């Protein structure tokens, strides 16, 4: 629990396994088709976080990136975040 709120971490092997969640992290090592992931999540109120160039345009809300000097930064899709 965190601040007296319980949470559960789930690992989805396939797109078909994806079920309701509040935050979905799509790591760079994921081999599933990201477009299918976004379609599966649909219009649910799910924060989608990625770490691969180009996925912000495909439906990610936050994209984690490593800068040229090795620091972690993020990109934010404000349009998707508002909807």
- Its pTM stands at 0.84
Name the band, by pLDDT with cuts 50, 70 and 90, for residue 83.
low
Share of the chain above pLDDT 90, in %: 53
| pLDDT tens-digit readout, 10-35 | 989 889 999 889 999 999 888 778 99
Which are the contacts of 22, defined by CB distance < 8 A and separation ≥ 6? Answer: 45, 46, 47
* 44, 59 contact by CB (below 8 A): no
Q: Is the dihedral of CA 6, 37, 44, 72 positive or negative?
A: positive
């Amino acid at each position: 629990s965190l601040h007296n709120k319980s949470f559960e971490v789930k690992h989805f092997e396939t797109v078909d396994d994806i079920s309701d969640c509040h935050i979905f992290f799509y790591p760079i090592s994921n081999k599933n088709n990201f477009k299918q992931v976004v379609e599966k999540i649909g219009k649910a109120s799910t924060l989608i976080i990625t770490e691969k160039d180009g996925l912000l345009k495909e439906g990610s809300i936050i994209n984690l990136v490593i800068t040229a000097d090795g620091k972690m930064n993020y990109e934010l899709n404000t349009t998707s975040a508002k909807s």
